[in-house]
Chains A and B, each alone.
Chain A
């Protein structure tokens, strides 16, 4: 904690060097982890019971994974630029991250299209098919929220509220973004191993 900011002398008691909001963000991430832990273990439990339809994963998921890894890189670029007070670069980097995020979502939709043309449906079929839609859909919903977050940070950058002395916002955004990236890679590897 940066103590020079504290005005009230009687309250230097923040014993743990953790920003409360960043901390809450981590706790929120824990809740998301638990949701996906529940869903993927449900997947395994259900699969173990047999009567499980197997199908090919669309190849475009590989491309999507590449896109989201790239977006993590641009996110980190944005963070580093903010640290160096290079605000123009921050704007470019956040915009590219947003763009890659949207591209990823479009890619996921495309993958769904491919699935449908392979006769793998969300409803009416075997749970193995529905699970794929639930996992990707729920991850996508979180990514939408992260994109909204990116917009908020972008606005803040335009209003000069993101800079080397005020990194909390962009740090939290980056944490969330990297988390969703890792979450996707986990889901993808999980699906590759267990589909």
Chain B
């Protein structure tokens, strides 16, 4: 942690109290694209890196789906890519996937998707890009810390990427890296150098994430434009804000867990290890407790799933309200439920540990708390549905992806209720049922939130429009594909298929599901292929897309008041002042169906409610004060 301290210190030392750093900023290639302190460019850096990781993570999943769907397949054709991880039978030339490498594949897939794509790629992109634009700030509280945040992420990415190619293979103890497996190189090759690199990479990742979160919180609290009270904040900002709060409180705990693991692995302490025999030989470690690691890990791990989901929910709120041309239903209830989720997410972690032999009484406490989390989740779902209800729906690709998110959130959330019952979990724990649950509710839902965000804010990011037709094709293929992949997993899971098994051909009971597994694998390959439509659309539109109008979705939030390609500082003139909440869509009496946040009530007498007319007087006073101030300087 010392590094963080030092950097924080340098930061304060260099910039002192200067207020408008960005104005001294001259751009050349390096400062504009690489070591930029402009939040918009940093957001794009996170996005591009996230897309890169999503491709890697997706490819890994196709590899292990091939193994699961076609256990008898000859894999020798993969030899050129995977090298020694494909074992060739010298007599027949038949190639099989190395079982340990299978474990490495699932581990890296999970790690990459959870942390690098859905945490850094989602939060990193949209918190950076949208917070200053939507609250009316010229940049983040500290552009320098923001830049560091990206470069720590980059470093972390580089280390994780390198670990894919080393001799003993990458980490292979699962994304949750439970000891003793992850602590003992003698137990599995991946726990050697691969695991060390994993830990190093995660430490950088934690630093990056903390620098980012501290900045987001500080920006939202201190840099809002005039009039932007917390009760006028777009729900996106509320979501990013609470996500950052969760991050600040939970990532340090992962750091503590990882630190103790590092000591166990490399220094010979016994925090997590006790009485272990490998090949009949006893290890010296005494007195540790592997359950301790699980507690520490899940204290981060469960909040982490909400770190992944909340930004996606925030993005969805914004997009659904805009494209239903209706105010979001229950703005305050939405904030309340997000606050509820934030608090509750810290007190449910042990639902991942029901079968670790913990005290059944404790189990029932955690069961109760877990099931309570369903309440705010349900509130959010109802509010989305009631916002859509009888709205003037505009089906942009972003809107479709948002509706898709709601669908996944419902179908995946329902299975959470089953898993949350400690008795039912005895049967379901560590089966494909859990895999289905979290891929729908976290994986797919957040991925759809990410996609919705990209389609929606692409015009602001790159000044051009993405192709809507390709967007529709991308949406339908992905939406149907996701259900084809993950729905069957519920059945497979209920039937008892454990997760993280290399092959099931040795179990007679599972033979009847061989076809279903094959089906899932084919669906996965199709869904993955469909993502290339998006990639093409994304990069093509970046350069060749139709030029975007200033406010393509007729939206109310402040980012659409900036020029088509906002420069550093976002608004060339003064920052707009905010007078109303962001959801004045289809207001009765108004002649247009949206009234942006910076329009004063005095300009919209036809649609004002009585109490809003009262506010006009206050606005007038404000203006006078402003003029008086102005003449002084």
Contact = CB atoms under 8 A, between A and B. Distances in A.
Chain B associates with chain A: yes
B9 A148 contact: yes
Interface string A143-161: 0111011001000100001
**Dominant SS at the A interface?**
helix
A75 to B, nearest CB: 15
A28 B12 CA distance: 13
Contacts of A56: none
B296 interface: yes
A30 interface: yes
B1 A141 contact: yes
B215 A152 contact: no
A12 B299 CA distance: 40
Which residue, of A28, A122, A144, has the highest number of chain B Cβ atoms within 10 A? A28
Interface in A42-90: 42, 45-46, 49, 51-53
A180 to B, nearest CB: 10
Interface in B221-266: 221-229, 248-253, 255-257, 259-260, 263
Interface stretch (B13-21, B186-194, B469-477): B13-21
B19 A5 contact: yes
Nearest to A150: B9
The number of chain B residues touching the other chain, given as a range, is 35 or more
Interface stretch (B30-38, B62-70, B280-288, B506-514): B280-288
Interface string B480-522: 0000000000000000000000000000000000000000000
Contact of B269 (A52, A130, A156): A130
B12 A27 contact: no
A6 B251 CA distance: 36
A169 B222 contact: no
A131 B217 CA distance: 32
B607 interface: no
B183 interface: no
A52 to B, nearest CB: 8
Given A6-B19, A46-B271, A156-B13, A28 B295 contact: no
Contact of A8 (B13, B248, B253, B574): B574
A31 interface: yes
A14 B574 CA distance: 15
B253 A149 contact: no
A166 B17 contact: yes
A38 B252 contact: yes
B268 interface: yes
A14 B260 contact: no
Interface string B452-482: 0000000000000000000000000000000
B251 A31 contact: yes
Contacts of A144: 2
B141 interface: yes
A8 B577 CA distance: 14
A132 B626 CA distance: 59
Contact-residue bracket for chain A: 35 or more
Nearest to A14: B222
A10 B575 contact: yes
A148 to B, nearest CB: 6
B12 A169 contact: yes
A130 B251 CA distance: 23
Interface in A96-146: 122-128, 130-131, 134, 138, 141-142, 144-146
A142 B253 contact: no
Interface in A1-24: 5-16, 18, 20-21, 23-24
Contact of B13 (A30, A42, A169): A169
B373 interface: no
A126 B226 contact: no
B223 A14 contact: yes
A122 B267 contact: yes
A43 to B, nearest CB: 10
A39 interface: yes
A191 interface: no
B633 interface: yes
Nearest to A17: B222
A142 B2 contact: yes
A176 to B, nearest CB: 8
Contact of A148 (B6, B142, B229, B295): B6
Interface in B11-70: 11-13, 15-17, 19
B5 interface: yes
Contacts of B260: 39, 42, 134
Given A8-B574, A24-B145, A15 B229 contact: yes
B218 A20 contact: yes
Contacts of A45: 289, 292, 295
A45 to B, nearest CB: 6
A51 to B, nearest CB: 5
7 contacts: A20-B222, A24-B141, A25-B12, A35-B256, A130-B270, A141-B1, A145-B6
Interface of B: 1-2, 4-6, 8-13, 15-17, 19, 136, 141-142, 145, 210, 213-215, 217-219, 221-229, 248-253, 255-257, 259-260, 263, 267-271, 284, 286-289, 292, 295-296, 299, 574-575, 577, 626, 629-630, 633
